[in-house]
Amino acid sequence: MFLNNPLLEKLKKTLHDKLPQVEGIVKGNEKGFGFLDVDAQTSYFIPPNDMKKVMHGDKIAARIQVEKNREIAKPERLIEPFLNTFIGKIEIKKNNIFILPDYPLLKELILCHFDKNSSHNFKTGDWVVAQLIMHGLQREKKFRAKIIKFIIEENSFLVPWKVSLSRHNLNMNEPKLYPKEIIFDQSSDRKDLTHLDFITIDSLNTKDIDDALFIKKEKNNNISLFVAIADPTSYFSKNSNTDKIALERGFTNYLPGFNIPMLPRTLSEDLCSLKPNVKRPALVCRIVVNNQGDILYEKIFFFLAWIKSKAKLVYEDVSDWLENIGSWQPQTDAIGNQILLLNHFSKIRTIWRNTHALIFKERAEYKFNISDNGEILNISRNYRRIAHKIIEEAMISANSCSAKILSEKLGFGIYNVHSGFDPINAKNVAEILLHYNITITEKEITTLSGFCKLHRILNKLSNNYISNRIRRLQSFGEIATIPNPHFGLGLKSYATWTSPIRKYSDIINHRFLKAIIQNKKVIKPNSSITSKISDCRRKNRMSERDVEDWLYTIFLNQTKYKKSIFDAEVIDITRGGIRAKIIENGANIFIPMPFLHKNRNELVCNQEKGIINIMNKIAYRLSDIIKVKLREIRIRSRSIIAIPIELS
């Protein structure tokens, strides 16, 4: 009697409409159910059957109803899908093509459509780019996707690289060369410095050499350092195809095993590269430094020149020679003298920065050594040596000089800026330090001098836990068109120009510096340029991290590592567990809370302080070195799960 009763249907609709509606983000769970996060404090349970209508990450509207005394979110309307264009793997079942999205919490296969004219014969395991064309909350109540592009076959060793680059919509190959555009500009006057003993110091396999140095001692004991930088803008003009592609890429993308250049290799590794014994055009800065390491800014001089590098030196060889180890020797006394003078320059500039600015804390750098067929041979842990510091000090000095000149002559450029702490975090830092009887006001540490003072105090304190807590409160570096301090370096302004082969921001500054030299007018860049460069940098870093995570899971999935015990440094503490870095090879690992202590009720996590208490005693904290054993290698999510052995 009640079947299809319009009054009953109307009553149901009225009752349904009276249920409260909320909006939030779907959070999936490996067990099939999920939650709708409305805000930081409010979350509603989504049953497994209803989770089939949505995906982890979807923004939806839902009705809240009560079932068995529990509030349940019933998905009702899609606001914004988590998936739009995405990466996934093909699976073929009963002549139908499905795709599994490459996200750990998305486990449901999606039926795929593809262009019937496609020449590719899709197979199970193929990696592709796809686009979601139908959602489970839309009219047909089903998920559908369309294949846009084939990436790579499952068994290729290039999978980590090609999939990661595709995920971030980055180029996989070098830019197209436009030969008719590559015309050297002969209109500029250049000083002939080919007789001077310029040298380059780089890694053994570096081909895109963009800086060369010559140094001499003056009669008054001042030091003159000539920093010569490759001049790609003398080969192609602004707004040419080559220039537009360089802007689009923003940077040379350095990934484990290989790089994808910003400029065609004909330019970056040949015509512009400061190779030994070849005459090359360069933009040069003369920097004069006194015995105390002060740069005499009134003597800064930028000019165009011809140079000829007399030797391509390698970091390790130069460092060995200066440390009196190994058998390598400079090929001439003149080159040896250059190395000794550069080392002296580096030492006095390091002392100056340690007193008046800031120096970098030594951290290990990890390098994947990969064979031609993609096999990971090993992962080396390296530290910056004397030769690295020589180049670092020369480049920092040169970039501070360009910032000074651009600020004075133009009032704009492309600057690297870092604001230290915002007012709220400055207050938090001051409160943290008070607990350790260190008095420094929040107002003081928002100034450049106060920020430097703070970090000198932290260096003397040598407490990694405090340093890490405070570092987490610092602002991120930015790119700006007007000069502002770089607190992280302790400098009043900083504008890089020393890597124009590899960074488009340096190309822009090159053009500005040339305009100053040639007394030409230029237009201030708008914010869209800095946004574009920042976005390129972010994508490159994410792709590098993704490739590394993938390679680490492959490397540590070997049998010989599964029973190994590693030392690891705690780098973050979250509600879910501990993030740590294996000291031996740099791999990031995760230790879930249940692995830390059997009784969860006896465990208290304080994310803000970076501490985990067990039975009212500190068990783990930021910067602790702990011993861990690998528990599970999750290839699909590129994550490594570990379990602690004991506190070191």
Q: Which residues are annotated as catalytic?
A: 202, 208, 210-211, 315, 502
Cβ count within 10 A of residue 172 = 14
Cα–Cα distance, 194 to 208 (Å, whole number): 20
DSSP structural state of residue 447: S
The β-bridge partners of 568 are 582, 626
Give Cα separations from 558 to 368, 372, 633 (angstroms). Answer: 15, 20, 10
The answer to whether 345 touches 289, Cβ cutoff 8 Å, is yes
DSSP secondary structure, 206-271, as one string = -----EEEEEEE-TTS-EEEEEEEE-GGGTS-TTSHHHHHHHHH-B-EEETTEEE-SS-HHIIIII
Look up residue 57 and give its amino acid: G
Q: Identify the sign of the CA torsion 389, 394, 398, 400.
A: positive
Residues contacting 440, CB < 8 A, separation 6+:
430, 433, 450, 453, 454, 457
Beta-strand relationship, 85-93 and 96-101:
antiparallel
Q: What span, in angstroms and rounded, lies between the C-alpha atoms of 282 and 63?
A: 66
**Triad 220, 221, 226: Cα angle to 5°:** 105
> Coil, strand or helix: which one is 465?
helix
550: region left, alpha or beta (phi > 0 left; psi from -120 to 50 alpha) = alpha
Where on the phi/psi map is residue 434: left (φ > 0), alpha (ψ -120 to 50), or beta? alpha
Under DSSP, is residue 601 helix (H, G, I), strand (E, B) or coil? helix
Burial of 180 (0-12, 13-18, 19+ CB in 10 A): exposed
CB 25 within 8 A of CB 59: yes
Of 230, 227, 182, give the one whose Cα is nearest residue 209.
230
Is the distance from CB of 510 to CB of 246 less than 8 angstroms? no
Cα(446)–Cα(467) distance, integer angstroms = 17
Q: Which residue has the tokens 């490739």?
A: 547
In sequence order, what DSSP letters do the residues of 418-429 get, joined into one string?
Answer: B----HHHHHHH
Q: SS3 for 113?
A: strand
| Per-residue three-class SS string for 357-416 | CCCCCCCCEEEEEECCCCCEEEEEEECCCHHHHHHHHHHHHHHHHHHHHHHHHCCCCCEE
3-class secondary-structure state, position 97: strand
DSSP notation for 57-93: T-EEEEEEEEETTEEEEEEEEEEE-S-SEEEEEEEEE
The one-letter amino acid at 257: G
